[in-house]
Amino acid sequence: MKRIENEFGVSKALPIKTPSTNDGRVDVVVAKDGSGDYKTIQEAIDGAGIKRTNRSRRYVILVKQGVYNEYVIVGSKSKNMMIIGEGMGKTIITGDRSNGTGFSTFESATFLAKGDGLVLKNMTIRNTAGPENKQAVALRSDSDASAFHKCSFEGFQDTLYVRVSRQFFKECEIYGTVDFIFGDAAVVFQECQIFARRPLGGVNTIVTQNRDNTNHTSGIVIHNSEVKGDPKARLGGVKTYLGRPWSLYARTVVMKTQLGELVDPKGWLQWGNMTDISSMYYAEYRNSGPGSGTENRVKWPGFHVISDVQEARQFTVGNFIDGASWLPETGVPFSVDL
């Protein structure tokens, strides 16, 4: 796909063709009690290759409520799929793979999304390994032009791995402790709720971004959302930071978001012994709440308090992930501008 970069290194791509949303249509139903076409989600995904006859529209899988203890993979050939649950906390996919039980972070995901054009709606995806087992991913997404609406992602360290490509999260909930939103995708979180849990140590870091090359058009943007403590967790004595840089050119922007009192006044944390903090781009724009004050933020050359609305607009859905060219076809609502 041809891309053009603006002065901030943000990508503009030509529109892509994607099948339209389901318009209420369902191709197959998954139900644990056997009342649907399949009993497991993976069987339904694998069966799409046989049942799918019209690739000009999305293939839609409805997953009835229940707890599905399985590891789900939407493979790279399974493009333009829509998987719909019956609600957060009702349709639940759960697993417990982790570093502590012998799985790499890359391999630990409860749900792995590789096929482009994936849409997930109305479900919960969990990794229940717990903080003592360190890195344990709930969702890993490699899917370009993927959208997630009203989904909950629950874990502790490394909950949500937005690995590569363009992604969009709307009205989702994300729970975790250390680096629990991480990766090298170009991704926008809009009207999401981000919940910090209690870590084994005394420090939480919400976002860690892995842009290691100036040619990468990636970055993590949190827009019009809310950052707060998990109401079931006691965070007394825990320092919580908005994020830390995984790589030299890490890019993270938090804008028009409600920041709770849990956010440390410094805002951001240095990664280990990384000393070059001039090449990254970390920014805040018009945030609110008790954790939003910027007077005591880090004094890094790469940290910015944005005052120019045109600079902030580079990180909107319309500009940063080319959302107007592909999100309408997903059926997921979005705001294209600030």
What's the confidence (pLDDT) of residue 13?
Answer: 42
Residue boundaries of the structural domains of the chain: 28-330
Please give the class, per CATH, of domain 28-330.
mainly beta
What's the confidence (pLDDT) of residue 165?
Answer: 96
CA gap 202, 150 in Å, rounded = 30
What's the confidence (pLDDT) of residue 21?
Answer: 59
What's the confidence (pLDDT) of residue 1?
Answer: 36
Taking only the tens of pLDDT, the chain with its 338 residues reads 334 444 445 444 433 344 555 667 899 999 999 999 999 999 999 999 766 666 667 999 999 999 999 999 999 999 999 999 999 999 999 999 999 999 999 999 999 999 999 999 999 999 999 999 999 999 999 999 999 999 999 999 999 999 999 999 999 999 999 999 999 999 999 999 999 999 998 999 999 999 988 888 999 999 999 999 999 999 999 999 999 988 889 999 999 999 999 999 999 998 776 656 778 999 999 999 999 999 999 999 999 999 999 999 999 999 999 999 999 999 999 999 99
Residues forming the active site: 179
User: What are the distances in angstroms from CA 311 to CA 109, 209, 259?
Assistant: 35, 20, 21
Token digits for 85?
């649950």
Residue type, 50: I
Q: Are 210 and 247 in contact (CB under 8 A)?
A: yes
What's the confidence (pLDDT) of residue 17?
Answer: 43
Q: How crowded is the C-beta side of 185, counted as CA atoms within 13 Å?
A: 29
pTM of the complete model: 0.93
